[in-house]
């Protein structure tokens, strides 16, 4: 395969993967850690594919035979993937969780796994709803030191909250000193297939780089634990 043709195929596959991930998990690629993880793992994959193609080019095989072997290999992968699609579903979910750490991976009913990002932080892509409103997607930074689920003003607005009419009278201690928030109630908060109703929350008055998933949600679970680079949540 000519270098420019190989580059075109890899570029097309990369674009297709990005479009698929954005369609399946909208907004996730807006997170910087997710983009970093996706890029470096993509580089590793491209390097492996390039090494395979280089090896085939150096072997004393005719171009027709080399092409046939490549197509046969791709065909076998497609057949195997279709034949074992149900068995491979958990593996697919784990790969997705590795590429996009904030995406929750369902291990079993009511049990969800989150993977640490390259920076060592745990993030969770969640869906929130208030009243009869539609679900809104919010990516949280998991913070076991935070007492509440703390929303940025932008995330609160997307939930339909008029942040300018709130009363910011609840003090919170942060790394930058004391900040103030306004009490709110989140009717439903969902991560994977875990849904908790009536979660105490707050909207922060000051600057908050990302909404925080605090103990007002985590203590409503039957338990959570850390296993190396994984965080396990249990309904």
Going from the N-terminus, what domains does the chain have, and what CATH number goes with each? 3-99 (no CATH), 105-234 (2.40.70.10)
**Whether the Cβ atoms of residue 183 and residue 170 lie closer than 8 Å to each other:** yes
What count of other Cβ atoms lies within 10 Å of the Cβ of residue 231? 22
**Whether the Cβ atoms of residue 194 and residue 233 lie closer than 8 Å to each other:** yes
**Whether the Cβ atoms of residue 173 and residue 156 lie closer than 8 Å to each other:** no
Residue 121 to residue 89: CA distance in whole angstroms: 26
Element (H, E) at 39: helix 32-58
Nearest to 139 by CA among 154, 124, 150, 155: 124
Write out the chain's pLDDT in tens, 235 residues.
Answer: 455 555 566 666 666 666 665 555 555 556 666 666 666 666 666 666 666 666 655 555 556 555 555 665 666 566 555 554 555 555 555 555 555 667 888 888 899 999 888 778 899 999 999 887 789 999 999 999 888 999 999 999 989 999 999 999 988 877 667 789 999 999 999 999 899 999 999 999 887 888 999 999 999 999 999 988 889 999 9
Residue 112 to residue 114: CA distance in whole angstroms: 7
Return the bridge partners of 100, or none. Answer: none
C-alpha dihedral (177, 146, 22, 10), degrees to nearest 10:
80
Element (H, E) at 82: helix 63-83
């Amino acid at each position: 395969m000519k270098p420019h043709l190989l580059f075109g195929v890899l570029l097309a596959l990369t674009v297709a993967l990005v479009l698929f991930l954005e369609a399946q998990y909208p907004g996730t690629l807006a997170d910087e850690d997710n983009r970093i993880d996706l890029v470096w793992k993509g580089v590793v994959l491209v390097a492996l594919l390039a090494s395979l193609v280089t090896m085939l080019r150096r072997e004393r095989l005719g171009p027709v035979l080399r092409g046939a072997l490549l197509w046969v290999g791709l065909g076998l992968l497609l057949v195997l993937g279709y034949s074992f699609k149900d068995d491979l579903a958990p593996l697919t979910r784990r790969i997705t969780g590795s590429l996009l750490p904030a995406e929750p991976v369902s291990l079993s009913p009511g049990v969800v796994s989150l993977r640490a990002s390259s920076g060592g932080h745990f993030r969770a892509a969640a869906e929130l709803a208030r009243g009869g409103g539609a679900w809104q997607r919010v990516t949280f930074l998991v913070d076991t030191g935070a007492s509440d689920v703390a929303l940025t003003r932008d995330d609160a607005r997307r939930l339909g909250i008029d942040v300018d009419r709130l009363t910011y009278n609840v003090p919170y201690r942060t790394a930058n000193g004391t900040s103030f928030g306004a009490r709110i109630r989140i009717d439903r908060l969902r991560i994977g297939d875990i849904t908790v109703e009536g979660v105490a929350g707050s909207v922060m008055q000051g600057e908050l780089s990302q909404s925080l998933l605090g103990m007002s949600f985590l203590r409503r679970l039957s338990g959570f634990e850390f296993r190396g680079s994984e965080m396990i949540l249990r309904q």
